Chains A and B, each alone.
Chain A
Amino acid sequence: DAKTTQPPSMDCAEGRAANLPCNHSTISGNEYVYWYRQIHSQGPQYIIHGLKNNETNEMASLIITEDRKSSTLILPHATLRDTAVYYCIVRGANQAGTALIFGKGTTLSVSS
């Protein structure tokens, strides 16, 4: 089973920041938080991952709370093309070769 909890859906206005929350209260010390998104009729796409520190790349920012029990994915200026299902996943650092376990994710709807 997925070790994360996400709201089923969220709305965001185009151009505004989209903040997607994720709870992972049972996360272990060596587990990373990964975010993927899936646009309709495509395979999931890697966005970002982090362990303790906040991370930023060209797609998004990841904010992880100090106790690591929750995190927030931030899309700073959402566009219509960001409409997708967003999945938050935890995975151990030494678990290359183990399956990512997906939950149902958050469906983000960006509107103009």
Chain B
Amino acid sequence: DTGVSQDPRHKITKRGQNVTFRCDPISEHNRLYWYRQTLGQGPEFLTYFQNEAQLEKSRLLSDRFSAERPKGSFSTLEIQRTEQGDSAMYLCATEFNFGYTFGSGTRLTVV
């Protein structure tokens, strides 16, 4: 257990459905990141929060994706109208001083 919790661990959804993932960070870590990882690739940056403010978004974050971090605590990542290409591991990480702490990720399979 890294201290960063992600829920669910696995999600299978039909193409076109909406899905939402949750990340509960280490409480004193005010910087939170979302990454996506496909098979055989390193994690790819999606978006970054400083407390509740979303400060950076990757061009990978299409308009079907939205992320929130209300009150600077937990964060959610929603994907609308899922496509097969969205199948991936979605990782949440928090940062304090140096180094990220990652959660174990949510594996999404779109069928």
Q: Enumerate chain A interface residues (CB-CB to B < 8 A).
A: 2, 32, 34, 36, 41-46, 49, 85, 87, 96-105
Contacts and interface: CB of A to CB of B under 8 A. Distances in A.
Nearest to A46: B99
Contacts of A46: 99-101
A33 to B, nearest CB: 12
Nearest to B107: A41
Given A44-B93, A97-B48, A104-B41, 19 more contacts: A42-B104, A43-B102, A43-B103, A43-B105, A44-B100, A45-B2, A46-B99, A49-B99, A96-B31, A96-B98, A97-B31, A97-B50, A97-B95, A98-B56, A99-B48, A101-B45, A102-B35, A102-B42, A102-B44
A72 to B, nearest CB: 19
Interface of B: 2, 4, 31, 33, 35, 40-45, 48, 50, 55-56, 58, 91, 93, 95, 97-105
Contacts of B43: 44, 102
A100 B99 CA distance: 9
B105 to A, nearest CB: 5
Nearest to A34: B99
A34 to B, nearest CB: 7
B99 A105 contact: no
A64 to B, nearest CB: 16
Nearest to A91: B98
Contact of A99 (B45, B98, B104, B105): B45
